[in-house]
Amino acid sequence: MQIGRAVALAAALLLASCGKLVPTTSVPPAPPVGMTALTAGVRAGPQIASLGLGPAGAATSLASFRESCPRLLSRNDSSGLTRNADWKASCDAATLWPTSNAPAFFARFFEAAQIGDGNAHATGYYEPEIAGVRNPQSGYAVPVYRMPPDLVRAKPGDAPALPSGQQPLGRYENGRFVPYYERAQIDDGALTGKGLELAWAADPIEFAFLQIQGSGRLRAPDGSVVRIGYAGQNGHPWTGLGKIMRERGLIGTGPGQVPGSMQGIMQWLRANPEEGRKMMRADKSYIFFRELTGDGPVGALGVPVRANASVAADPKFVPLGAPVWLGVDRKEASGIWIAQDTGGAIKGANRFDTFWGAGQSARTTAGGMSARGSALVLVPKGTLARLGAR
């Protein structure tokens, strides 16, 4: 996720992601290579008017849909569900449609598609705010690095290609391609003196969790804020703290165990600083940042993600920019969302990551979000007939 990179701090937290997290129950298998919404199966869902859309939630999502329209009309839909021209009528109408009557907008222009079995899992993410400064000063010793210029993809023939067909990330050393520095090497100073420091954070644990989220805010003692966003990753696989702790029997409800939430994991790391530091260094992945401007963090669609409106999805199963309906066992996560982001662990049909904004309330909600239920993708009217969906 570019914010999000995204990336879902779920109640059950941190088993796998780049810029997003997954539930602590188990890591869902990746969908087969080449699978899309079309190969997963598309069925006609219920009438949108029957979904009971709330006016407030629909209004927020309508505003986010408007922001998505320029991209919907220009980008290719890798899910295979829609074509650019399919969105023109709804996007034209969205510019003038009153938000006070937002449920009628979605009922007028869209029809519901069930992808695969429709069984949904939704987690949550947020924009962290931690103590940080632009220039080094006492109490702020954790560097926030820009993307290093020597972090590159291998030239064809210099390293085996990844399963995706892409060349791996790494660096060239004396003309030979080698893996990039791991987290432990970077923490030990591998990038010191290279002029890559974008800012400085106060707390290594808070910063590690900001890296998992993929973006956030750094607030200085004078109240000034620097917003940073995902710029890249060092090419090493991500290993979730939740997974490590679960394997060691540290997560649970027994004596000496902590809840498998972000808050529980942080609590354990602070209570066990030496062991916690070693555990954090066991994750070889490292996230680099860039400074963001504008009124909100930017998702993979290239538009700002909005609290209670934006959701991360797998673009092979959901057109980025499309509305999504969630009917799950968490009331606050049920309703209309707009797919505007992606995440490393947000893979497959009906896997979503809901965005909750910034601040303590957003942190609490995202950190405890793991909802199950059903999902529908809202596509322009006429799409189902064209696809021959039942």
Task: Kindly state the average pLDDT of the residues 357-376.
Answer: 91
In this structure, are 181 and 314 located in the same domain?
Answer: no
pLDDT of residue 29: 59
Handedness of CA 310, 315, 317, 320 (dihedral sign): positive
pLDDT exceeds cutoff 50 at 8 = no
pLDDT at 382 over 90: yes
- Most confident segment among 85-89, 209-213, 275-279: 85-89
Check pLDDT > 70 for residue 371.
yes
The pLDDT score that the predictor gives to residue 290 is 94
- Residue pLDDT, tens place only, 333-352: 999 999 999 987 799 999 99
Mean pLDDT, rounded, for 221-234: 93
Please report the pLDDT score of residue 241 as a whole number: 85
- Cα distance between residue 107 and residue 96, in whole Å: 16
Region 129-134 average pLDDT: 95
Q: Are 341 and 215 in contact, with CB atoms under 8 Å apart?
A: no
The C-alpha atoms of residue 4 and residue 1 are separated, in whole angstroms, by 4
Last residue of a domain, one of 249, 271, 291: 291
Q: Is the pLDDT of residue 390 over 80?
A: no
Q: Does residue 15 form part of some domain?
A: no
What are the structure tokens assigned to 178, written together? 């080698």
Q: Are residues 135 and 120 in the same domain?
A: no
The strand pairing partners of 242, in sequence order, are none
Instruction: Provide mean pLDDT across the span 281-300.
Output: 89
| pLDDT bracket for residue 7 (50, 70, 90) | very low
Identity at 231, one-letter amino acid code = A
**Which of 267, 291, 315 is where one domain is finished?**
291
Question: What is the tally of structural domains in the chain?
Answer: 2
Checking if the pLDDT of 70 tops 90, the result is yes
Nearest to 169 by CA among 196, 143, 151: 151
Contacts of 307 (CB under 8 A, 6+ apart): 355, 356, 357, 358, 362
State pLDDT tens for residues 11-51: 333 433 333 333 333 345 567 768 999 999 999 999 999 99
- Residue pointed to by tokens 């993708």: 377
Segment 242-274, tens digit of pLDDT: 888 998 999 888 888 888 777 889 999 999 999
What is the pLDDT of the chain when averaged over all its residues?
89
pLDDT at 53: 94
- From CA 319, how far away is CA 339, in angstroms rounded? 7
| Dist CA 7 CA 30 (whole Å) | 15
DSSP state at residue 76? -
Round to whole Å and give the CA distance between 37 and 317.
4
The most distant pair of C-alpha atoms in the chain lies apart, rounded to whole Å, by: 64
Could you tell me which residue, 239 or 176, shows the higher pLDDT?
A: 176
As given in the structure block, the two tokens for residue 294 are: 């504008």
Give the pLDDT confidence score for residue 296 in this predicted structure: 76
Domain that holds residue 363: 37-125+299-387
Do 115 and 135 belong to one domain?
no
Q: Kindly list the distances between the CA atom of residue 214 and the CA atoms of 2, 203, 231, 303, 381, in Å, as whole numbers in the listed order.
A: 6, 16, 9, 15, 35
- Tell whether 119 and 134 lie within a shared domain: no
pLDDT at position 184 is 97
Q: Are residues 179 and 283 in the same domain?
A: yes
86 contacts 386 by C-beta, under 8 angstroms: no
17 within some domain: no
d(CA 165, CA 179): 17
C-alpha neighbours within 13 Å on the C-beta side of residue 241: 27
pLDDT > 70: percent of the chain: 92
Does 275 reside within a domain? yes
Shared domain check, 111 and 163: no
